[in-house]
Structure 1
Amino acid sequence: MRVVVLTLLMLFLSGTLSEDDGEDNRCLTDMCNILKSLKAIEARLNATENQMEEMRNIQDTVAVLQRTAEVQAAEIRATETSSYILMESMKRVNEVQEKKLQVFSLWANATEFNVEQQQHLLDELKNKIEDKPKIAFLAALAGNGHITSSDRETNLAFRNVLMNIGNAYNSASGVFSAPVRGVYYFSFSSFGFNGRNVCVSLFKNSERMLSACDHHSAADSSDSAGNGGTLHLEQGAQVYMTLHARSHIFADNQNRSTFRGFLLFRT
């Protein structure tokens, strides 16, 4: 607007100069100087307006850049928020997984302990089984017919050995000798035939422990008797069978008169 005013003023002065050609040179010179000053001012004003226009353009550009920066900052904040949420979620997932791993580790340790404990018990049982002597025997009377005793009780030797694990039974004497201290089980059977009485006893060393007797009757031509029980024996103790005085026992190939025993456990 100021440039327009100056332009109009200069046109006015130019017209005045052309109409007053008769004025003196001093006046003409002053007017020319004024016109020159006005032109210089106009040029400066034009330059100033151009600079202001450029400044406005720069300001617009800065505003656009500022809005762009604000949008990008908002996007960055949104990204940071999403990243934080994602990191927190991953952190919680990791915590859950870590707890699960701890539980699994405890379970694995407990399982390993149980396995080791069971293995230890199995090893102990195995050692006990391996350490336990294997002792068992079964023998029957040999021959075919009655074995009788006199007026005195006599020892019985069961010479038909069917089994003798550990070789603790002596078939020649009919005596079982305990190889180790422990609890043993013994049993016996005796068969009487043709109307004869049968009566036998089992001894531990010199002590009578078990007996079994059967007496014939008119309606019963054969008789059987048996007994059995557990004995606690010291190492070297002897167990054997006797036939009572004036008693009979029958021996045959059917092995109906037998003597047997085995170790239950050591003590």
Structure 2
Amino acid sequence: MRSLQLAGQMTCASETTNEQMTTSPDIWTEMELRDGKLRNMEVRATASEAELMVTKNKVEKENADLTAGLSGSNISAFWDRETASEAENAAFIADLRILEVQYVIFPVFADRPKVAFSAGLTDSGTVGPFVAETRLVYTKVFKVLIPLLLSSDTGVFTAPVRGLYYISFTAMSVQTSFYFYACMYKNGQKIMYSQGYNAGGYETLSNGVRLELEEGDVVYMHIPASNRLYDNSNNHIFSGFLLFTV
């Protein structure tokens, strides 16, 4: 009986060992197959990533080339055309303005009188002081479009036509710590009084006014009593011109 049990146990052990030997190779084979599949998947994924990167780089290069082409030759040509058009328009407008002056503005003023004068005070240096207010005589007449408008003997400007005039003057003082003055008169009426202060060295004063004058009206400059002005070849002037007739 015991012999039979031992024989049975040995038979069972032998069957179990054979079963294990038969099963183990199947598991390893399956695991190796799975590992191979995973490796193949990794290879394919790596290849796909490489292809995707190549495609991305290609697209980026094409976009860069397209942008470069637009910002280069095409856009440059566009702006060149725009600049040329602007230059042509500017030249056309300039021509129109010249024609306007020649055929519109100039004929309007061609028949109107032209009045202008300028004269320097003196070359002798100091003028004044005087006991009383005194008329300034501008002896150096530079330009008078109509003769005898400004007298170099009296310093008086006489309006030849009725109109609006602009008349101005400049004056200089060389007396340190001294106030200096100049007055403009129209037909004996003071219309402008200007003053300056010489803190040291050379000091200038200037002023101007628009005046409506009738034909024959006179305008001239005065220096107040006890005052000094100065002039030389630098020419401090009495000047005016007709803006338009009225």
Q: TM-score, normalised by structure 2?
A: 0.55
Q: Which residue of 2 aligns with 1:145?
A: 125
Runs (5+) with no aligned partner, structure 2:
1-98
1:165 and 1:236 mapped to 2: Cα distance?
A: 16
Q: Is the 8 A contact 1:136 1:164 kept in 2?
A: yes
> What is the root-mean-square deviation of aligned Cα atoms in Å?
2.1
Aligned amino acid, residue 216 of structure 1: N
2:102 and 2:128 mapped to 1: Cα distance?
A: 52
User: How far does the alpha carbon of each residue in 1:165-216 deviate from its partner, in whole angstroms, 9 at most, with x for none?
Assistant: 1121111110000000000001100000132432101111111111221133
Determine whether 1:236 maps to 2:222. Answer: no
Identity across matched positions, percent = 30
1:11-90 pair list within 5 angstroms = none
> Secondary structure of the residue that 1:198 maps to in structure 2?
strand
User: How far does the alpha carbon of each residue in 1:34-67 deviate from its partner, in whole angstroms, 9 at most, with x for none?
Assistant: xxxxxxxxxxxxxxxxxxxxxxxxxxxxxxxxxx
> Secondary structure of the residue that 2:109 maps to in structure 1?
helix
Residues matched between the structures, number? 146
Aligned amino acid, residue 170 of structure 1: S
Q: Which residue of 2 aligns with 1:161?
A: 141
1:239-254 pair list within 5 angstroms = 239-254=219-234
Q: Which residue of 1 aligns with 2:50?
A: none
> Secondary structure of the residue that 1:197 maps to in structure 2?
strand
Q: Which residue of 2 aligns with 1:212?
A: 194
1:127 and 1:170 mapped to 2: Cα distance?
A: 31
Q: 1:199 to 1:182 in 2, by over 3 A?
A: same
> Secondary structure of the residue that 1:169 maps to in structure 2?
coil
Determine whether 1:179 maps to 2:160. Answer: yes
Runs (5+) with no aligned partner, structure 1:
1-118
User: How far does the alpha carbon of each residue in 1:117-142 deviate from its partner, in whole angstroms, 9 at most, with x for none?
Assistant: xx9x9767444312211110110112
1:238 and 1:124 mapped to 2: Cα distance?
A: 33
Q: Is the 8 A contact 1:177 1:236 kept in 2?
A: yes
Q: Which residue of 2 aligns with 1:223?
A: 203
Which sits farther off after the overlay, 176-185 or 126-135?
126-135
> Secondary structure of the residue that 2:113 maps to in structure 1?
coil
Q: Which residue of 2 aligns with 1:83?
A: none
Q: Which residue of 2 aligns with 1:135?
A: 115
Q: Is the 8 A contact 1:153 1:245 kept in 2?
A: yes
2:205 and 2:192 mapped to 1: Cα distance?
A: 12
Q: Which has the larger radius of gyration?
A: 1
> Secondary structure of the residue that 2:198 maps to in structure 1?
coil
Q: Which residue of 2 aligns with 1:78?
A: none
